[in-house]
Amino acid sequence: MNPGTRAPRWAAIIPWLFVLLWSSGFIGSKLGVPYAEPFTFLTLRYVIVLVVLVPIALLTRAPWPQGRGQIAHLILAGLLIHALYLSGCVYALRLGLPAGIVSLIVSLQPLLTAALAGMMLGEKVMPRQWCGLALGFIGTVLVVAHKTGSGLTFISTVPALLALIGITAGTLWQKRFCPAFDLRTSTVVQYAASLVITAILSLVTETREVQWTGQFVFALLWVALVLSIGAISLLNHLIRSGTAVNVASLFYTVPAVTALMAWGIFGETLTGLSLVGMVIAVIGVWLARGK
């Protein structure tokens, strides 16, 4: 095999590998949150990530971010993506907002990203991409329609909206102000900042009691190692190498992949309407990512 052909093939796999790993995070959280309160769960998750990444960064002599400006931009992007987004999702669920509604609100991210990409990044969104974004959202609505349920209140919706703002602003900010950085050390900086926030929230709002069951340990290690290190590294790579709209459009497929995982693992209902929505969402992403 010609070595020169390997990179494009791997590059084509990376977006879908990211979707698979990112989607598994919702399954891991569902397995782990019953045994620990949300902010405590996130705090433990970030501690494990730092215990793994700090020695790797030091042993490999990875370059650390230079200058207050670069560090500040990385910290802000990290707080938006890790602290605000994840905290908003888990707290909305804690307040009783159905998981389907949370997914639906967060799925507005690609459309919001497209609306802001021109102003913040100078990216032009083509008509084909707008069509793909609209189809992707319609597909997502169909996927989660049977999971919306009741429990929709203004108070429970606010954290989900904050999560939407966090993941959208975080990816745009990182794309705009952090065009190049070492994944090892910069990730350490971002998670360290997020750890401070979630630790404070757990101290102020939670009992910090944990039931150390086998299922909880598995879930905690999964979201820490597979999601917070694996999926986030792929996300950072995608942000640096692609347009903001292309990256954001991938999130349309997350509810579909999560639904398939939940069906296989938990036996959750998978309706015909959900299957139709999955197909529409994939077509939408294909259009949005097209040249």
Burial label for 67, CB within 10 Å (0-12, 13-18, 19+), is exposed
Mean pLDDT of the chain, nearest integer: 85
**Tens of pLDDT, residues 56-86:** 999 999 999 888 898 999 999 999 998 999 8
Cβ neighbours around 239 below 10 Å, total? 23
- Dihedral over Cα of 245, 280, 228, 37: its sign: positive
171 part of a folded domain: yes
- Dihedral over Cα of 151, 146, 110, 222: its sign: positive
| Cα gap 210→232, rounded to integer Å | 25
Cβ proximity of 189 and 53 under 8 Å = no
Residue 177 vs residue 12, higher pLDDT:
177
138 part of a folded domain: no
What is the DSSP annotation of 93-118?
HHTT--HHHHHHHHTTHHHHHHHHHH
Q: What angle do CA 76, 45, 11 make, to 5 degrees?
A: 70
Is residue 287 over pLDDT 80? yes
The predicted pLDDT at position 103 comes to: 79
Total domain count, the chain: 1
Among residues of the chain, what percentage have pLDDT more than 70? 94
254 part of a folded domain: no
User: What are the CA-CA distances from residue 179 to residues 109, 214, 239, 269 (Å)?
Assistant: 21, 40, 9, 42
The predicted pLDDT at position 151 comes to: 63
141 part of a folded domain: no
Distance between first and last Cα of the chain? 27
- Most confident segment among 7-21, 38-52, 267-281: 38-52
282 part of a folded domain: no
What is the DSSP annotation of 27-63?
HHHHHHGGGB-HHHHHHHHHHHHHHHHHHHHHHTTPP
Cβ proximity of 163 and 89 under 8 Å = yes
- Most confident segment among 91-100, 115-124, 215-224, 227-236: 215-224
* Amino acid identity, position 16: W
58 part of a folded domain: yes
**What is the DSSP secondary structure assignment for residue 80, as one 8-state letter?**
I
The predicted pLDDT at position 7 comes to: 47
135 part of a folded domain: no
The predicted pLDDT at position 4 comes to: 44
**Tens of pLDDT, residues 248-283:** 888 888 888 888 888 888 777 778 888 898 899 888
Is residue 2 over pLDDT 50? no
Full-model pTM: 0.83
218 part of a folded domain: yes
Q: Which domain holds residue 155?
A: 13-125+151-243
